[in-house]
Structure 1
Amino acid sequence: MCLLLVFLAQLGCVDPEGTKPEVGEDASSFQKVEQALTDSNAPLFILSAEELESATRQPWDDPASGIERPSQAELDAMFGTRPILEKSPAHKAKKERFAKEWKLKEDALRGAGHAEEVIQAERAKFKSEFFAQQ
């Protein structure tokens, strides 16, 4: 059977996977990029220090632009950054307390025969209420 497939592939009756050309106007460039990504001998694309600096330059880095750098609070608000709470021992203790209390409540819900969807909804509600408390 395998010999038959090999013979038919050599005759052109069977199109082995991957030999069919891509459709569209960018097919050849797409195939080149795909091959470059899958080729283990392809050189890695690494930015030089100058290219990296120009790629990460902000508008306020150029004095000629006249744009002032926003305050750190404004940048945090724009990009949604929050302080990391994981490093706080109090937060870790609160997470551990949440896990223990949720486990008790989850066991009670499972014992009462509630469906998994109900348990997940209760967990979300319990978590938001638990962490909203100060």
Structure 2
Amino acid sequence: MATTTTHRRHVLALAMLVIVGIHILGNQKVAAASCNETLSSLVSKCSRFVQIPGPRDLPSDACCQAMKQVTVGELPCLCKFVTPAALKVISMEKAVFVARTCGVTVPAGTVCGSYTVPPNFV
């Protein structure tokens, strides 16, 4: 009887692990979809403020609204898009300026691609 009880406990523990694993994987897919939606919004509303050519301009209200939708959990996903090719088109200095101007906290030391966010600057 003790063996049957032990076996049931192992099966129950395994079932719980499977349920938790499915839940975690499901959340990762949701997070990835959310990241892609956020990136799309940022590109459509903020791209002109972060392009390499041109002056450092104050972002629009629409851009700031898109920036404020970025969650801390999405940062690693968004940073995956900061590739060497992307850095030839966008200025990370301008991107940090836009985010901070919009009131979004971008901690110094945050690494996005090969770029490391410096302390607050003007």
Which structure: larger Rg?
1
Short-chain TM bin = under 0.3
Tell me the TM-score normalized by structure 1. Answer: 0.25
